[in-house]
């Protein structure tokens, strides 16, 4: 029993952190100046403010002829027998590509894929149809 207590005390003492581990590393003085001289100005990217430099198009907007414009009117088409409340969002520019992952196998006429009402009835989900302001 006494050997177990000695072993526990030795293990506890070994697990105590060394005081130097808890202190931050000093990077000032000569070391800090030398580091800034060697690495301080690397990876600097020039900031530009052009149209394509800020990333993606903001939500609720569309890029039309190189200008940022707001989306046009929005129509919500609700199915007769809804099975899922999450809407399918279609854009007037590419409705066929937007629904390829949904259940469109029941359609014989591929032109019906462009009809938001038909898409809502077949999938049982509401369709949010956005038209662009042209």
CA distances from 27 to 19, 30, 31, 35, 86 (A): 18, 8, 6, 9, 54
Centre a 10 Å sphere on the Cβ of residue 71 and count the other Cβ atoms it contains. Answer: 15
pLDDT digits (tens, 9 = 90+) for 64-118: 777 777 777 777 777 778 787 777 777 654 444 445 555 555 555 555 566 777 7
Residue 4 has pLDDT above 80, yes or no: yes
Two tokens, residue 129: 């149809």
Q: Given the structure tokens 């609700």, which residue do they identify?
A: 78
CA dist 100 and 88 (Å) reads 11
Domain residue spans in the chain? 61-130
């Amino acid at each position: 029993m006494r050997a177990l207590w000695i072993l526990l005390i030795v293990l506890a003492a070994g697990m105590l952190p060394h005081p130097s581990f808890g202190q931050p590393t000093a990077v000032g003085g000569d070391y800090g100046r030398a580091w800034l001289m060697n690495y301080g100005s690397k990876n600097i990217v020039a900031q530009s403010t052009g149209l394509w430099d800020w990333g993606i198009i903001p939500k609720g907007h569309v890029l039309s002829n190189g200008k940022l414009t707001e989306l046009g009117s929005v129509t919500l088409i609700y199915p007769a027998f809804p099975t899922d409340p999450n809407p399918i969002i279609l854009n007037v520019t590419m409705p066929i590509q937007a629904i390829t992952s949904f259940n469109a196998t029941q359609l014989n006429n591929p032109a019906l894929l462009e009809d938001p009402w038909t898409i809502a009835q077949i999938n049982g989900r509401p369709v949010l149809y956005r038209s662009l302001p042209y």
